[in-house]
Amino acid sequence: MATFWGAAFFMLVASCVCSTIFHRDQQTWFEGVFLSSMCPINVSTSTLYGIMFDAGSTGTRIHVYTFVQKIAGQLPVLEGEIFESVKPGLSAFVDQPKQGAETVQELLEVAKDSIPRSHWKRTPVVLKATAGLRLLPEQKAQALLFEVKEIFEKSPFLVPVDSVSIMDGSHEGILAWITVNFLTGQLHGYSQETVGILDLGGASTQITFLPQFQKTLEQTPRGYLTSFEMFNRTYRLYTHSYLGFGLKAARLATLGALETEGTEGHTFRSACLPRWLEAEWIFGGVKYQYGGIQEGEVGFKPCYAEVLRVVQGKLHQPDEIQRSSFYAFSYYYDRAVDTHMIDYEKGGILKVEDFERKAKEVCDNLENFTSGSPFLCMDLSYITALLKDGFGFADSTVLQLTKKVNNIETGWALGATFHLLQSLDISH
């Protein structure tokens, strides 16, 4: 069943539908997420391909999906995915847009190596940028996207008119929720047992779940709920994207760099860092000097006080999440791997309190810090504060940390395809 619906991506990228694919008489949340028109040449072979780029704040990723048309007139099945990424993200090239586009060119070579030359002209290529570019001035962001489009135009692949754009943050959470719940089998039939998702990027963080209680719906702020139809059901999701609350943006906020005009010659200091540390860090194309405090207390307690100021009172806290199941990925996953709380390949199950326990262990041994990221104490403390004091999770809340489900990358890229299938006026 999973492979059947996974094939929806083909309907996104290789269905011969020359008219608009939206029901334009309806105002839908996914306007602008999907391509407005696309009509590849007639596909007669059994194997089909589609290319989706995810341009995030910390890196650019390529998903190359492979499908096989087993029965004529029916949806093809998803055979698999090839995934690669490069760092840094496009936003790091804010003043060198051509260099930024070259990183996309590098990933396009992966697609060329993965897709037979005979299929290149009928394989669409799409790039959706996320929080990293949303934080940039519009003119600079558009300059980056223009150069990427130039790269696409020179490629041998099919390039739709609107193949390069910036995705709204709330769409990421919704589409990631669809991906995870589809791959875990929660969307088949009429089961209400879905899982929520937590995504922590570099510039933004998302929370999405399906409320089970009327009280949640009544107490949710305007703009945090969205309804859509899929798999012959109507879903009303709680979803919100918090721009500026991603892991790397939170570092700047903790250091006070966001409130300081002009960073040249200024060193930002934190109790979350070893006293002896003096270093520089580049994020979003800006260079920052940072280091440990020379006097005063260091360790978990003062560090937690710093990160708490970033999140306390700034995020909505729905009571229902304390009794819900959540999948967490991106930096939640990475920091858990970095501290050996979960296996890199298999992922694992953690409680919220496990992040706090590990944060205390790392932060209270800062002077013995010898390897890994110098931000490890700050990052773990921020994740703890974000979960507990930001979203309002209980210490005992269980999180499933994963990079892949059924060997498919979690995230919005595949989820985008499922909802599009619902908007296509196609008889199968």
First to last CA, the chain: 16
Distance CA 327, CA 307 (A): 23
Name the helix (H) or strand (E) containing 382: helix 376-385
Q: Are 83 and 63 in contact (CB under 8 A)?
A: yes
Choice among 147, 172, 306, 409 that is catalytic: 172
Known binding residue 384? Answer is no
Q: 248: closest CA among 202, 310, 308?
A: 202
Token output for 345: 């390949």
Backbone angles phi, psi at 400, to 5 degrees: -95, 115
Q: 272: closest CA among 288, 286, 251?
A: 251
Known binding residue 203? Answer is yes
Known binding residue 250? Answer is no
Known binding residue 205? Answer is yes
The tokens 């391909």 sit on which residue? Answer: 49
DSSP single-letter state for residue 200: E
Distance CA 264, CA 249 (A): 18
Known binding residue 339? Answer is no
91-to-97, 166, 286, 295, 316 alpha-carbon distances in Å: 9, 12, 10, 35, 28
Is-catalytic flag, 172? Answer: yes
| Burial of residue 265, with CB atoms counted within 10 A of its CB: 0-12 exposed, 13-18 middle, 19 or more buried | exposed
Token output for 163: 């193949």
Token output for 78: 């998803």
Instruction: Give residue 421's Cα distance to chain centre.
Output: 21
β partners of residue 68: 47, 77
Backbone angles phi, psi at 170, to 5 degrees: -65, -25
Distance CA 31, CA 391 (A): 28
Q: Annotated active-site positions, please?
A: 172
- List residues forming the annotated binding site for ATP: 202-206
- List residues forming the annotated binding site: 202-206
